Amino acid sequence: MLPYTPALSYIAEIAVQRLLELHSYVAASALDLGCGNGQKTFPLCKYFKTVVGVDASPHMIDDAIAHRGESCATFIRGDFAKIPVDDASVDVVTMWNSLHYADPKTLIPELKRVLRNGLVFICEPGPASRYGFSDHKDADAMLARKLIQIDKVRREFMDEVEVISYAPTDMGYTLVCRV
């Protein structure tokens, strides 16, 4: 499990602030899918009245709850195939390093179900990020396999959504889309 790092929260806050500025978007609620320990969920509270983090791992949800403090965020265990929130209950969905765990065929209908107007922000790692494999003896092979999976899911996902902006870099990519 990755340690909770406030610096990652700061990076997420800058990204969300920029997203909302660029798209002149006003929203009341956000859903962070694949929230992990909440590092990138907590900054959403500065911009949204209601924030829900969802992750399949009970350990990650427990860690997020332990760091919650006075935050408006709530955390629920669940997965991408059946997102545990009501229909048309969210304005924006964020996914930080988690799209590659999803099957776009089941994720996209779920996003359409839970979103009021369909705005999704995704950030995934790229080759320069090393994706946490730097210290492993087979780091290059592991990274290559992971990047193939990330790219495959990204292409499948992008084929089914309206892409608003896509910005690839060596560190990864950001994608803003409407479902």
Q: Does residue 145 lie in a domain region?
A: yes
Query: What are the residues whose beta carbons fall under 8 Å from the beta carbon of 109, sequence distance 6 or more?
Result: none
**Residue owning tokens 């304005």:** 91
Nearest to 160 by CA among 146, 144, 179: 179
| Residues above pLDDT 70, as percent of the chain | 75
Instruction: With a cut of 90, say whether residue 78 has pLDDT above it.
Output: yes
Q: What is the pLDDT of residue 43?
A: 84
Nearest to 59 by CA among 31, 35, 85: 35
- Looking up residue 132, the CATH number of its domain turns out to be 3.40.50.150
Domain of 162 in residue numbering reads as 6-178
Instruction: With a cut of 90, say whether residue 85 has pLDDT above it.
Output: yes
Mean pLDDT computed over 72-95: 94
Mean pLDDT computed over 56-70: 93
Tell me the C-alpha distance between 146 and 71, whole Å.
33
Cβ burial, residue 60 (10 Å; 0-12/13-18/19+): buried
Q: Does residue 169 lie in a domain region?
A: yes
Q: How confident is the model at residue 140 (pLDDT cuts 50, 70, 90)?
A: confident
Q: What is the pLDDT of residue 3?
A: 47
Domain count, the chain: 1
**pTM (2 d.p.):** 0.82
Mean pLDDT computed over 24-32: 77
Mean pLDDT computed over 40-58: 91
Could you read off the pLDDT of 143-154 as tens digits, one per residue?
777 778 888 888
- The pair phi, psi for residue 162, each rounded to 5°, is -90, 110
Could you read off the pLDDT of 161-178 as tens digits, one per residue?
988 878 777 667 778 888
Q: Does residue 74 lie in a domain region?
A: yes
Query: At 42, which helix (H) or strand (E)?
Result: none
Q: What is the mean pLDDT of the chain?
A: 81
Q: What is the pLDDT of residue 18?
A: 66
Q: Do 27 and 48 meet the contact criterion of CB atoms below 8 Å apart?
A: yes
Q: Does residue 1 lie in a domain region?
A: no
Residue type, 33: L
Q: Do 53 and 35 meet the contact criterion of CB atoms below 8 Å apart?
A: yes
